[in-house]
Amino acid sequence: MIDLTLAEVASATGGTLHLDGTDASPQTVVSGTVTTDSREIGHGDVFFAKRGEFDDGHRFAPSAAEQGAALLVVEHPLDLAVPQIVVADTVDALGALATEVVRRVRSHGRLKVVGVTGSNGKTTTKNLLRAILQGHGATVASRKSFNNEVGGPITALELTDDTEFLVAEMGASAVGEIARLVKMAHPDVGIVLKVGLAHAGEFGGIEQTVLAKSEMVTGLAAHEVAILNADDPRVSSMAERTAARVVWFGLGERADVRATDLVVHARGTEFTITVPDGPARTSAVARVHFGVLGEHHVMNALAATAAALELGVPLADIVDALERVTLAERWRMQLMGGRDDITIINDAYNASPDSMSAALKTLAQVRAPGTRTIAVLGEMSELGEFSGDEHDRIGLLAVRLGISQLVVVGQGARRLHITAINEGSWAGESAFVETADEAFDLVVSSVRPGDTVLVKSSNAAGLRLLGDRLGEWFA
């Protein structure tokens, strides 16, 4: 975090400073890492005692103090000899402090902010942008999937006076949450990747999802840029909701930044990228050897390219950065294994109907002639009323793609298994198990040399660790 006095932090958060029993004064400066996790606290850091659904961060404040916290932000005074700021709500205070830090860095620096949202692809696009931008200036980007009302501010609070680029992943499970993050960081460039059924159960339907995702661009001004998916009608409709200049990305002719001539293989995707070049809007073209597995990740690369171009990065530098990225993020289309030519694709960090479909299509595309494909699938969570139909659809897709073997894990995904059987009249091609351990035993006992195994589920299903286990077993 940038240098701030205790008085300035109290003012920014609307809190009351308590210094009893300490040697600090209102002018004492803090500049350490800001966190809500007491396990991450080091000397000079700032701890926000957040109340959670199952626990209360105030219980861990003594541990934070012992580990050297310079400041505790709390909702009631604690009997600890550490400077404390008492606020009404620590999450609101965290966002308020982040808003002030972004404002200060903007006011005396060259900071540009890119916001990224969408039902799928946020983390991949954010990571690609970080890889591109860090060669052109000090860059801060969300760690892991820090994209909510806590992770967003914590990311923004990593800014320093020298930061030139902030790439802020912005997620939501309800209308108004992205608007809150946009108000905090106010992007110069706002990206909307896709609107699908991810979290549709929480949003209350697809139209509410569209409304929530459009919050990325509705507040942008005419001198700012909205980067929109030309191939997704729900996203392209957002052009009518923004005053910003729109830049389109996609696979069709409408797109300003587009990909053609895609070739998908087991080590990534090759494509030709075409982008606007100069004030005359002529085109520049390059061939990209993109090492991130899955054709669907090409759209994320196009979105990142469009944003980087708007920030002044030359196309050649963008292509070079894209070609150096081989993994979007752990547990996202992560290639593992290798023994006996057995490939494990661990894509079990999260799953929606769109990402599940894309992963299955990739599995079918990368299979070598004469080899088999095995899909180990768990539940797609947070779909609400759409859950049954969408699990049916994935079961049908697996059959129609000719996946050699399905292993369906957990009661939440069982309908997928039943649908696959009904569609294909299979004799054992789809197996249902209750646990990840059973799935591991089944795969290990049935896999053959040359097989490609996909592990895919929502985070809540916990299959990412199964993917790791299989990857290590077949390493």
Residue ranges at the known binding site? 118-124
Neighbours of 131 (CB within 10 A): 19
Of 73, 109, 108, which is closest to residue 89 (Cα–Cα)?
73
C-alpha span between 163 and 159 (Å, rounded): 6
Would you say the C-alpha torsion 351, 353, 354, 357 has a positive or negative sign?
Answer: positive
Helix H, strand E, coil C: the string for 131-164 is HHHCCCCCEEECCCCCCCCCHHHHHHCCCCCCCC
Of 327, 380, 360, which is closest to residue 454 (Cα–Cα)?
360
C-alpha 186 chain-centroid distance: 18
Binding residues for ATP are 118-124
* Structure tokens that stand for 349 in this block: 């960090």
Neighbours of 281 (CB within 10 A): 8
Report whether 352 contacts 390 (CB < 8 A).
Answer: no
HSE-CB for 302 with a 13 A CA cutoff: 35
DSSP 3-state of 70: coil
Report whether 30 contacts 69 (CB < 8 A).
Answer: no
Report whether 349 contacts 457 (CB < 8 A).
Answer: no
Q: Which amino acid is at 288?
A: V
Report whether 391 contacts 406 (CB < 8 A).
Answer: no
